[in-house]
Structure 1
């Protein structure tokens, strides 16, 4: 029997991981609260949610597992490490 060997192809899968939650912030206005979160709160891959604000001015609640969204899949010519 003659079996045709299929060569695998490489695909780039654009993916977003979306963590949803809330920050409770002590602030003078909505805009002040927005700026505090933008400037002082974050998340680093492999880390955790963090803030540079004092503990008595900030609290948060976020899901531990993100929502996953696949945006686009494209064929690539060659695997990047080759």
Structure 2
């Protein structure tokens, strides 16, 4: 049986909240963009001190697939 290599565009969407202590909405946004993230195969993290941030995220992402294309056709 012939098998092909397919590229499947995929999104893993983790949704949650960061509660941040800041002087304004924009500063709170900047803190999250610059100091918070997700490491593939790791966990959600922040470099902010614990007394400035708290978060809640689901450990189970919403998984969406999109376009699927043949990358390499196999011949026998």
TM-score of the pair, normalised by structure 2: 0.91
Give unmatched runs, 5+ long, in structure 1.
Answer: 1-5
C-alpha RMSD over aligned residues: 1.3
Return the structure number with greater relative CO, CA threshold 8 A, min gap 6: 2
- More strand per residue: 1 or 2? 2
Residues 1-80 of structure 1: matches in 2 within 5 Å? 6-77=1-72
TM-score of the pair, normalised by structure 1: 0.84
Equivalent pairs, count: 74
Return the index of the structure with the highest Cα Rg.
1
Shift of 1:8: 1.5
